[in-house]
């Protein structure tokens, strides 16, 4: 499988995992998205003609990392607010 396509698949999977209600699974998704980011960079270095698919893989992986790390933080802040409020 080509690295650029694999990075897209991993990035999309990480975005899907970010909506899972279990924080350890979200952290695994963040690690997977970092791997997808690395694959996209390696694929771009190997063949400059795959720039579009590498860019899509990079964006999907970055979005996966952000969502996987932001969702637990928002959840914990919400739980703290609910605890303090009432």
pLDDT for res 1? 75
Q: What is the pLDDT of residue 3?
A: 92
Q: How many structural domains are present in the chain?
A: 1
Q: CA torsion sign, 77 to 80 to 82 to 85?
A: negative
Are 47 and 26 contacting, i.e. CB atoms less than 8 angstroms apart?
Answer: no
- The pLDDT tens digits for 44-62 are 999 888 889 999 999 999 9
What residue numbers bound the domain in which 11 lies?
Answer: 1-85
For the chain, the residue count is 86
pLDDT of residue 10: 97
pLDDT at position 50: 81
Tell me, what's the pLDDT at 5?
94
Residues of the chain with pLDDT under 50: none
Q: Is 6 exposed, middle or buried (0-12, 13-18, 19+ CB in 10 A)?
A: middle
pTM value surpassing 0.95: no
């Amino acid at each position: 499988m080509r690295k650029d396509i694999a990075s897209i698949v991993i990035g999309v999977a990480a975005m899907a995992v970010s909506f899972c209600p279990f924080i350890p699974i979200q952290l695994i998704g963040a690690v997977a998205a970092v791997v997808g980011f690395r694959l996209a960079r390696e694929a771009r270095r190997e063949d400059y003609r795959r720039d579009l698919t590498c860019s899509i893989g990079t964006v999907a992986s970055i979005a996966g990392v952000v969502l996987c790390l932001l969702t637990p933080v928002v959840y914990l802040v919400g739980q703290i607010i609910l605890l303090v409020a009432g």
